[in-house]
């Protein structure tokens, strides 16, 4: 079967995005993807994200998530496209995505904090 | 500031001759800038080592010294998995080379006293270290007086294995070599103590070993408490994986142990009942690591009261207390908690010493417990300073009857957490 070119869809569908992360499709292509998505999507929240605040908040994430190493069990999150990052956290917060720890974390974050985190992780 | 720099320089020059200072950390001459404050950290566990990393990484201009009694640190977290044969001893033992490479001055020695007014830390060998800020993260000490007959010598016969290292190996040797059909007895401690689910995770994984190597063995827990963390989950696991092997006796029904006899290999409860066993894992009541009391940072409880928004000692000026040694409100004494507290406290210290930004304070904890190799449960919460106290808000806990798949995934999650906290604490990032 000829290789199908990888066409990133807009990261609104959490399940698809999750699968992409899970299967490691972002690995090595993370930056390019982020740039591509950044260029094609308007991100008002992320633009306002306070990266320095995000770096502080990210210290909570890094207790469990490694930046780039892919460890089975907890996916890496550095370099995630900003809109995916925000939509994922929102989905946890609203109970659309299932994970007890992530739901609790997401519930504790306000919009400013989510934007700050997204801005920080998009930069990495 | 100017005066203390002279003093600092003098003492550091003196100190260098008598100390094992990690190579490559102090190549540069002493900074002449007054703002190069010096932070001395006592204890290289998850509390102290995380503090050292984040301070040095985010404010390289600060002098950061880590005083640790041992050349390596064996983590208590995952030591039960070592007992259960799921990880190797080497997997849970970590050195300080990478912190030294980052520029942390790693001093091997035991801190024994603090002159808080002059800001001087004293080590066992007589060396003194001057500081602008002192961080105490010495973990716990056993209360050797609490159970009659249970002292340091008795711990060589009835190991507590609640400070990981030789004690952990000793306990494993003992129960792996136990006679067929013998009894493993655990004396479980009263609150507060290190790692609320720790004793019960341990019993589970010891039972896991017994099912393979000594299936007629019995486990008896004599518990000072009336109930324990994640109890329904542990009891579910014991029924499922180790039916009939584990018996738990709560405090109100004869679980309170008041004396041990290492010759007879017996323990006695408050009603005078005597229990004999082949292996006795005696986990006594605990207090903050001894240097905390020597420094004067403890209250009548034996633990260190702290400000909820900075982990600063409420008793001593310029002293921060992290991890198990602290009285951290609703937070359990866990490695995850110690790591979380260290990051917050590092942010505040950096603000005080360098004028960096101050952010809202929030702490987190999640504790995974493996009840069998592929059956891992968890509990977690957020914490915030509220009404002068570290207070939990929101939280979650695993439920009885969850799918095998979820429990298996949570074991992988726990493994990933272990890799992450170790990388963050002792590793390269
Ligand atoms: C069986 C068991 C299982 C556990 N499982 C988990 C778990 O799954 N998850 C979790 O989050 N937590 C777990 N914990 C709890 C966790 O191990 C502790 O909460 C954590 O280690 C506390 O960190 P700390 O930095 O405060 O102290 P410690 O880890 O005890 O570190 C203190 C360090 O200070 C050094 N030190 C002490 N006094 C001095 C001195 N005077 N001078 C110099 N150095 C000194 C010691 O050598 C040590 O290296 C478990 C504990 C046990 C016993």
Atom 53 (ligand 1) nearest CA: B162
Q: What integer pLDDT is reported at residue B342 of this predicted model?
A: 98
Q: What integer pLDDT is reported at residue B183 of this predicted model?
A: 98
Closest residue, chain A, to B410 (C-alpha): A73
Judgement on whether residues B28 and B123 belong to the same structural domain of the protein: yes
B420, A65: Cβ pair inside 8 Å? yes
How far apart are the CA of B166 and the centre of ligand 1, in A? 14
CA distance B121 to B369: 37
Domains in chain B, number:
2
Domains and CATH numbers, chain A: 9-48 (no CATH), 50-124 (1.10.760.10)
In which residue ranges of chain A is pLDDT below 70?
Answer: 1-47, 68-70, 124
Closest residue, chain A, to B341 (C-alpha): A60
- Per-residue pLDDT of B333-350, as tens digits, reads 999 999 999 999 999 999
Query: Would you say residue B378 lies in a domain?
Result: no
Q: What integer pLDDT is reported at residue A37 of this predicted model?
A: 44
Q: What integer pLDDT is reported at residue B218 of this predicted model?
A: 98
- Per-residue pLDDT of A30-58, as tens digits, reads 433 444 444 334 444 445 799 999 999 99
Q: Residue B210 is encoded by which pair of tokens?
A: 């017994």
Ligand 1 atom showing the smallest separation from residue B48 Cα: 25
Segment holding B368, helix H or strand E:
strand B363-372
Query: Would you say residue B377 lies in a domain?
Result: no
Q: What integer pLDDT is reported at residue A48 of this predicted model?
A: 77
Nearest neighbour of B416 by CB, restricted to A56, A67, A73 = A73
> Chain B residues with CB inside 8 Å of A66's CB?
416, 419-420, 423
pTM of the shown model: 0.88
Does the CB of A123 have a partner CB in chain B at under 8 Å?
no
Q: What integer pLDDT is reported at residue B427 of this predicted model?
A: 84
Sign of CA dihedral B76, B82, B87, B90: positive
Judgement on whether residues B351 and B317 belong to the same structural domain of the protein: yes
Q: What integer pLDDT is reported at residue A70 of this predicted model?
A: 66
Q: What integer pLDDT is reported at residue B5 of this predicted model?
A: 33
In which residue ranges of chain B is pLDDT below 50?
Answer: 1-33
Q: State ipTM.
A: 0.88
Q: How many CB atoms lie within 10 A of CB B240?
A: 11
CA distance A50 to A34: 18
Print the SS3 string covering B175-223.
HHCCCCCCEEEEEECCCCCCCCCHHHHHHHHHHHHHHHHCCCCEEEEEE
Show which of B283, B305, B326 is a domain's final residue: B283
Domain residue limits at B219: 150-283
Q: Residue B417 is encoded by which pair of tokens?
A: 């957490």
User: Which 8-state DSSP code applies to residue B146?
Assistant: T
How far apart are the CA of B356 and the centre of ligand 1, in A? 29
CA distances from B66 to B21, B44, B53, B135 (A): 10, 7, 10, 9
How far apart are the CA of B312 and the centre of ligand 1, in A? 19
Does the CB of A64 have a partner CB in chain B at under 8 Å?
yes
Judgement on whether residues B235 and B211 belong to the same structural domain of the protein: yes
* Distance of residue B330 Cα from the nearest chain A Cα, in angstroms: 17
Does the CB of A68 have a partner CB in chain B at under 8 Å?
no
A60, B347: Cβ pair inside 8 Å? no
- Per-residue pLDDT of B171-180, as tens digits, reads 999 999 999 9
* Interior angle at CA A13, CA A42 and CA A66, nearest 5: 85
Judgement on whether residues B135 and B173 belong to the same structural domain of the protein: no
Strands B286-288 and B140-142: antiparallel
CA distance A30 to A69: 13
Segment holding B93, helix H or strand E:
strand B93-94
Query: Would you say residue B380 lies in a domain?
Result: no
Judgement on whether residues B276 and B298 belong to the same structural domain of the protein: no
> Chain A residues with CB inside 8 Å of B396's CB?
100-101, 103-104
Ligand 1 atom showing the smallest separation from residue B80 Cα: 1
Query: Would you say residue B396 lies in a domain?
Result: no
Judgement on whether residues B231 and B345 belong to the same structural domain of the protein: no
Q: Are B171 and B159 in contact (CB under 8 A)?
A: yes
Q: Kindly list the protein residues whose Cβ atom lies closer than 6 A to any atom of ligand 1.
A: B 42-48, 67-70, 73, 76-77, 79-80, 110-111, 137-139, 162, 194-195, 198, 202, 289, 291, 323-325, 333-336, 338, 367-368
Does the CB of A71 have a partner CB in chain B at under 8 Å?
yes
Judgement on whether residues B99 and B126 belong to the same structural domain of the protein: yes
């Amino acid at each position: 079967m000829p290789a199908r070119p990888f066409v990133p869809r807009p990261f609104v569908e959490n399940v698809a995005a999750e699968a992409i992360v899970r299967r490691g499709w972002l690995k090595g292509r993370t930056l390019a993807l982020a740039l591509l998505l950044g260029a094609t999507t308007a991100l008002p929240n992320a633009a306002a994200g306070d990266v320095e605040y995000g770096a502080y908040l990210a210290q909570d994430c890094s207790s469990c998530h490694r930046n780039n190493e892919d460890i089975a069990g907890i996916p890496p999150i550095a370099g995630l496209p900003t809109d995916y990052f925000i939509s994922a956290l929102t989905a946890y917060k609203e109970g659309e995505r299932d994970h007890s720890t992530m739901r609790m974390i997401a519930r504790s974050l306000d919009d400013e904090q989510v934007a700050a985190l997204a801005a920080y992780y998009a930069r990495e | 500031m100017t005066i203390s720099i002279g003093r600092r320089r003098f003492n550091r020059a003196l100190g260098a001759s008598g100390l094992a200072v990690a190579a490559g950390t102090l190549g540069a001459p002493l900074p002449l800038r007054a703002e190069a404050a010096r932070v001395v950290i006592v204890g290289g566990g998850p509390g102290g080592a995380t503090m050292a990393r984040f301070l040095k990484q985010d404010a390289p201009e600060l002098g950061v010294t880590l005083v640790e009694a041992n050349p390596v640190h064996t983590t208590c977290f995952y030591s039960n998995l070592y007992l259960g044969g799921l990880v190797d001893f080497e997997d849970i033992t970590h050195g300080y080379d990478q912190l030294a490479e980052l520029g942390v001055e790693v001093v091997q020695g035991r801190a024994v006293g603090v002159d808080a007014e002059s800001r001087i830390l004293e080590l066992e060998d007589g060396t003194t270290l001057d500081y602008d800020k002192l961080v105490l993260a010495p973990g716990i000490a056993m209360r050797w007086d609490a159970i009659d007959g249970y002292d340091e010598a008795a711990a060589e016969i009835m190991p507590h294995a609640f400070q990981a290292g030789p004690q952990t190996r000793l306990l494993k040797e003992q129960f792996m070599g136990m006679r067929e059909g013998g009894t493993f007895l655990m004396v479980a401690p009263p609150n507060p103590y290190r790692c609320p689910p720790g004793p019960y995770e341990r019993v589970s994984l010891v039972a896991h070993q017994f099912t393979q190597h000594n299936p007629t063995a019995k486990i008896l827990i004599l518990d000072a408490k009336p109930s324990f963390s994640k109890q329904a989950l542990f009891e579910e696991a014991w029924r499922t994986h180790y039916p009939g092997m584990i018996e738990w006796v709560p405090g109100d029904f004869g679980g309170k142990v008041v004396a041990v006899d290492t010759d007879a290999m017996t323990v006695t409860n408050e009603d005078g009942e005597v229990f004999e066993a082949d292996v006795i894992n005696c986990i006594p009541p605990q207090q903050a690591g001894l240097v905390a009391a020597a420094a004067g940072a403890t209250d009548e409880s034996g633990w260190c009261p702290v400000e909820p928004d900075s982990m600063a000692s409420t008793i001593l000026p310029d002293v921060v207390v992290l991890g198990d040694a602290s009285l951290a409100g609703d937070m359990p004494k866990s490695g995850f908690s110690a790591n979380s507290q260290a990051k917050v406290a590092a942010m505040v210290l950096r603000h005080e010493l360098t004028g960096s930004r101050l952010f809202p304070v929030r702490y987190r904890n999640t504790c995974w417990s493996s009840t069998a190799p592929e059956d891992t449960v968890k509990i977690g919460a957020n914490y915030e300073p509220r009404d002068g106290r570290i207070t939990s808000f929101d939280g979650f806990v695993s439920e009885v009857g969850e799918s095998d798949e979820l429990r298996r995934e949570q074991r992988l999650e726990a493994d990933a957490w272990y890799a992450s906290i170790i990388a963050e604490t002792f590793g390269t990032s």
